[in-house]
A and B are shown apart, each in its own frame.
Chain A
């Protein structure tokens, strides 16, 4: 059909479609030198215009380490959630998971950018995401696993988002760095939705059929050893216990996954899943460094 269109007809169709001008502006910007990174968003500084000096009294190295750990958690877990796209059981769940992954990717970009600024070595978010090796990543090991099924997805998302929500809620009050506090305040709103979503599913599956209940209990048992690495505290433990109880499930008693030579994810020691994630995440950037489109 489209081959039969004259160029004037095609132009008119495009104009009608673009009555609001958003695509016109995109087309215009592509004609300029303002190219997009092949593997980034092209919006190359998510903290543009923000006062990014590290304030007096803030330990820059500690700030960089904090932002790097929380940024890596979000980057790697976002990648795992993205792998559910085209595989989720229903379109609504796929949309939800893609939205949650997008929120986490946004948090990762802001946090890695802040980590790079605090580090002061001239790196940026893309160099941190695409050009670090496995041992330089500081994410907790909980985020690395590939979900075996939807029950594992919901159980892990519950624990991750309940923990992250509490960490960020605390940072909004306690961070001496105003940029990190601002990133945390935005993230709190997002994570509240993520936690509600995951809690809703854990309860629906746990308090569902015998089959879904068994799968969800098995999912908790599987991921529980990885929970030991998180400092859950009373609040998060209370939230997770409340959901587990409402879901008629049992909190696992499994021992935490051991450290390797005294090291865990925050020290750069990861599970065997991590290398595969990084291969997928970094291969294009490394094959074509600096590529633009």
Chain B
């Protein structure tokens, strides 16, 4: 029998549809109690516009799997970090031409957040097509909140990079 976690884990992110919500690390908990299931998800960014679609998709799939009561709960703490993207998720991003994030530790601090006055990339990024580390950041924001725009100096292709967050 397929567990509720496995069913919930098949839901894809509408904005990064090569990833499931489990790959992305936004599926936090699935609790079964008889024919009731409570799924806890966390937004990547405060304004993530995909939460509603994800919640609707979760509800539909779990109801189809036979759960009569599906509760979707939100969790804000601890806040989502790009470190929660699984190894499988990183492989899928790379295969889709999106450079996965490096470790985000450098951006977490308990005191004042230091100001970075350089245009240097936050973390090392390599081209997902040719593997070259000779890349440049063309914009720190992209089509979705979680990505930046890059270009490769070796193969000249533009690509997206999931930001360290």
Contacts and interface: CB of A to CB of B under 8 A. Distances in A.
A61 B80 CA distance: 29
Interface string A235-250: 1000100110010000
B117 A186 contact: no
Contact of B145 (A28, A48, A99): A99
Given A49-B75, A203-B117, A102 B53 contact: no
Contacts of A49: 38, 40, 71-75
Contacts of B74: 45-50
Interface in B70-91: 71-81
Nearest to B38: A49
A48 B72 contact: yes
Given A110-B46, A186-B76, A243-B115, A99 B52 contact: no
Interface stretch (A18-26, A115-123, A149-157, A252-260): A18-26
A217 interface: no
B46 A22 contact: no
A196 B148 CA distance: 13
A105 B47 contact: yes
Interface string B1-15: 000000000011110
B34 interface: no
Contact of A50 (B75, B116, B119): B75
A99 B140 CA distance: 10
B56 interface: yes
B141 A107 contact: no
A25 B46 CA distance: 22
Given A169-B113, A195-B115, A189 B55 contact: no
A67 interface: no
B49 A41 contact: yes
B127 to A, nearest CB: 19
Contacts of B117: 199-200, 203, 242-243, 246
A84 B67 CA distance: 46
B142 A43 contact: no
A20 B12 contact: yes
B130 interface: no
A106 B48 contact: yes
By CB atoms of chain A within 10 A, which of B14, B38, B45 has the most? B45
Contact of A102 (B13, B47, B71): B47
Contacts of B59: 29
B56 A102 contact: no
A28 B76 contact: no
Name the interface size band of chain A.
Answer: 35 or more
B105 to A, nearest CB: 13
Nearest to A203: B117
Contacts of B142: 95, 99
B113 A165 contact: yes
B165 interface: yes
Contacts of B45: 102-103, 106, 186, 190
A128 interface: no
Given A22-B57, A34-B56, A189-B107, A50 B139 contact: no
A103 B79 CA distance: 14
Contacts of B140: 96, 193, 196-197
A43 B55 contact: yes
Contact of A185 (B12, B51, B71, B77): B77
Interface string B114-129: 0111010000000000
Given A29-B60, A95-B139, A182 B53 contact: no
B57 A192 contact: no
A197 B76 contact: no
Contacts of B46: 103, 106-107, 109-110, 183, 186-187, 190
Nearest to A204: B119
B149 A21 contact: no
13 contacts: A22-B53, A26-B53, A36-B52, A43-B51, A45-B74, A99-B145, A106-B45, A110-B46, A182-B76, A185-B77, A190-B45, A193-B140, A197-B141
Given A92-B149, A185-B79, 9 more contacts: A20-B12, A20-B18, A22-B17, A29-B60, A49-B74, A103-B45, A107-B47, A190-B45, A192-B107
